[in-house]
Structure 1
Amino acid sequence: MDQFVVLTVYCGLIVAASMLGGALPSVMRLTHTRMQLMMSGVGGLMLGVGVLHLLPHGVAESGSIDVAVGGMFVGILSMFFLMRVFHSHQHAPVEKEYPEVAAAEHPQDHDPHAGHAHCDHDHGDEGPKSVWRWLGIFLGLSLHTLIDGIALAAAVAAAAHAESGLAKLALGVFLGIVLHKPLDALSITFVMRAGGWSATSMNLINFGYSLMCPIGVVLFYFAIGSLDDAWRHNVVGGALGFAAGVFICIALADILPEIQFHSHDKWKLSSVLLLGALLAVAIGWLEPPHAHHHAPAPATAPLPLPAMSPDREL
């Protein structure tokens, strides 16, 4: 299947997932447990995709472990500072939306004498201090989604030379992105709704946010279009390593710590986390054995035989 077709389908599904995420509160009741289960599964999937798919593909594409790991290092730092500056991954606290459901599910979390010793960190759930508070979250998540588009384009470009049609799809990277987008879009629309914005305004902003991934895809192909083969392989390999760092940072610095602070349902959340990680492993099993092949090492010339003197007997 042509790269253009694959990326067009993926971008369309990611846009749809983002729009659905922004509208989730009006479609279903996002209870505390449901949000935590979604975050746990997505966190396990993103961690598995980053470690088991993006990083190995980056090494294979560039032919250099230094390029891929260097890209991963930059990706981790970039995503960390992006979250630090914009506070971008503030997933909607459902207790504000449905306090009676949250209290019924986990009464110990709403006991004023419970101490909340397990939850001393700031969830960012004090409510918007300004009707424009959503703007910082929007900017941070838009940059993040732009990076996701670059990662998706790099993964599909790297998989283009795979032998199997299924391996050409870069399915793991796509799933890690498309399953995470509804949570991000929900963060934007939740804060906008708390600030009193209309449904039309929220839908327009969410649509603009959802377009960041296709824009990232286009930017990536513009960036590598004029490069020769050697540079293109290095750029794609480095971009895959960078995307691995982004996925790992989101999973370890944002999603999984958020779940860790909630002591209730720990076995249920841990099980869903494991299922997400196993899904990333299963996607790897669907690929043929040579999907992660490395570029063959150049053949070395045979060592010259020592010269023999004419009068030497064999």
Structure 2
Amino acid sequence: MSSTLLVLAVYCVLIVAASLLGGRLPSLVRLTHKRMQLLISFVGGLMLGIAIFHMLPHAIAALGPNDIDRVAVCLMLGMVVMFFLLRAFHFHQHDPQQGPVEEHSHDHDHGHDHDHDDGVPHQHAVAKMSGELDWLGVFLGLSLHTLIDGLALGASLEGDALHQHSGWVLGLGTFLAIVLHKPLDALSITSLMQAAHWSPRWQIAVNAGFAMMCPLGALLFLGGANWLVEQQSILIGTMLAFSAGVFLCISLSDLLPEMEFHSHHRIPLSIALLLGIALAWGIRWLEPASAHQMKRAAPVSSVEWGGVE
């Protein structure tokens, strides 16, 4: 087994374990609102740093200095794709759900009767069904998001291998960002399922299926990279730039709302953010000096980007 596959296998096992653990977090740890926001700020800062300090430079190094337009287009594409996934599925809400919204009592002691239309029982049935399946949209959105995370992990591993990195430094930054973020994603799914009274067995089964999406994405990328050997550096650089856009969108979707809604904890949250960014920067010191050097100066493709050859 090659070192890349060995590292990927270990990373995937840890990511799956983190996802499964995340689904059980409320029963293991008392997750206060402040603790959750501190964790989100730290992970958001880490993802922001990984995108800027690692993925983007590696993409430029893999594609070469004459293909900056490709990097810019793929970066923007990653941000736009993730933006529309967030808009379509509304899956990026990490606060544990305390209970289903639709469960409110209509047995009010107001001393008078309530006259309901004939359609109201049907409306309550629809609302109940909607509440029971709220988690499904979140699951689908997060599964696509996690599949893209897997592609990013595979691209990071291959990108580091392309620059003769070896050992556990392969894709380390991307792995840390994913493994720390997956418990929050898993928590979003299982808390909604719990609020809708799905059984623990179903919660574990759905969470396990979600957790496997990251290894699937990584294996898909490695398979494609090995199949397209002659275009490997182009594929790796393109995917790294796309992944940088994805990570930027995810991190900013976590961090930007804090300025509006969490001003009461601004100092601790700011410190957590800076610690995440500092960790991303610190990982650079584990990389060899040649990590971000250009692979080659010649154009990697005759395809024009933005009208510039």
TM-score after normalising by structure 1:
0.81
Question: Corresponding residue for 2:256?
Answer: 257
Please say if residues 76 and 245 of structure 1, whose CA atoms lie closer than 8 Å, have aligned partners that are also in contact. yes
Compare 171-180 and 254-263 and name the one that shifted more.
254-263
1:284 Cα deviation (Å)?
1.0
1:210-221 correspondence runs (5 A): 210-221=211-222
Counterpart position of 2:116: none
Partner residue in 2 for 1:116: none
> Which structure's CA Rg is the greater one?
1
1:262 Cα deviation from its structure 2 partner: 1.0
Q: Summarize the Cα distance change of 1:37–1:219 in structure 2 as closer, same or farther, 3 Å threshold.
A: same
Deviations along 1:136-162, whole A, 9 cap, x unmatched? 000000000000000000110011133
CA contact (8 A) 1:128 1:195 kept: no
Which AA in structure 1 matches 2:76? F
Unmatched runs of 5 consecutive residues or more in structure 1: 98-126, 299-314
**1:289 shift after superposition:** 1.4
Task: Provide the rounded CA distance (Å) in 1 between the counterparts of 2:165 and 2:216.
Answer: 28
Deviation digits for residues 12-69 of structure 1, max 9, x if unmatched? 0000000000000010100111100100000000000001100110111122222222
Q: Distance in 2 between matches of 1:161 and 1:240?
A: 13
For 1:201-280, list aligned pairs within 5 A.
201-229=202-230, 231-252=231-252, 254-260=253-259, 261-280=261-280
Say if 1:70 and 1:238, in contact at 8 Å, map to a contact too.
Answer: no
Aligned to 2:144, the other structure's residue is in SS state helix
For the Cα contact (< 8 Å) 2:96–2:188, is it kept in 1?
A: no
How much has 1:190 moved relative to structure 2? 0.5
Q: 1:303-314 alignment to 2 at 5 Å? A: none
What is the letter of the counterpart of residue 267 of structure 1? I
Spell out, residue by residue over 1:245-289, the C-alpha distance to the aligned partner (whole angstroms, 9 max, x if none): 00000111x210232221111101100100000101101122121
> 1:70 corresponds to which letter in structure 2?
V
Shift of 1:93: 4.2
Listed as ranges, the gaps of 5+ residues in structure 2 are: 100-127, 299-309
Please name the residue that 1:281 is paired with.
281
Q: Please give the alpha-carbon distance, in whole angstroms, between the structure 2 residues aligned to 1:242 and 1:272.
A: 26
The 2-side partners of 1:55 and 1:198 are apart by: 43
Matched residues, number = 266
Partner of 1:132: 133
**Paired position in structure 1 for 2:156:** 155
Tell me how far 1:216 sits from its aligned partner: 0.4
**Could you tell me which residue of structure 1 aligns to residue 81 of structure 2?**
78
Structure 2 residue matching 1:160: 3-state secondary structure? helix
Q: Which amino acid aligns with 2:221?
A: F
* Larger helix fraction of residues: 2
* Amino acid in structure 2 at the alignment position of 1:184: D
1:164, distance to aligned residue in structure 2 (A): 4.6
For residues 69 and 168 of structure 2, the distance between their equivalents in structure 1, rounded to whole angstroms, comes to: 24
Contact 1:166–1:287 under 8 Å retained in 2: no
Corresponding residue SS for 1:265: helix
Counterpart residue identity of residue 285, structure 1: W
Matches within 5 A, 1:159-174: 159-165=160-166, 168-174=169-175
Alpha-carbon distance in 1 for matches of 2:33, 2:277: 22
Runs of 4+ in 1 over 6 A off after TM superposition: none
Q: Which amino acid aligns with 2:156?
A: A
Post-superposition offset of 1:71: 1.3
* Alignment TM-score, normalising by the size of structure 2: 0.82
Shift, 1:128, TM fit: 9.4
Give the stretch that moved more between structures: 17-26 or 162-171. Answer: 162-171
- Between the aligned partners of 2:283 and 2:227, the Cα distance in structure 1 is 32
The aligned counterpart of 2:109 is none
Contact residue 59 and residue 67 of structure 1 kept, 8 A: no
Instruction: Give distance in 1, aligned partners of 2:229 and 2:35.
Output: 48
Identity of aligned residues (%): 50
**Deviation at residue 232 of structure 1 after TM alignment:** 1.5
Map of 1:301 onto structure 2 = none
AA aligned opposite 2:138: I
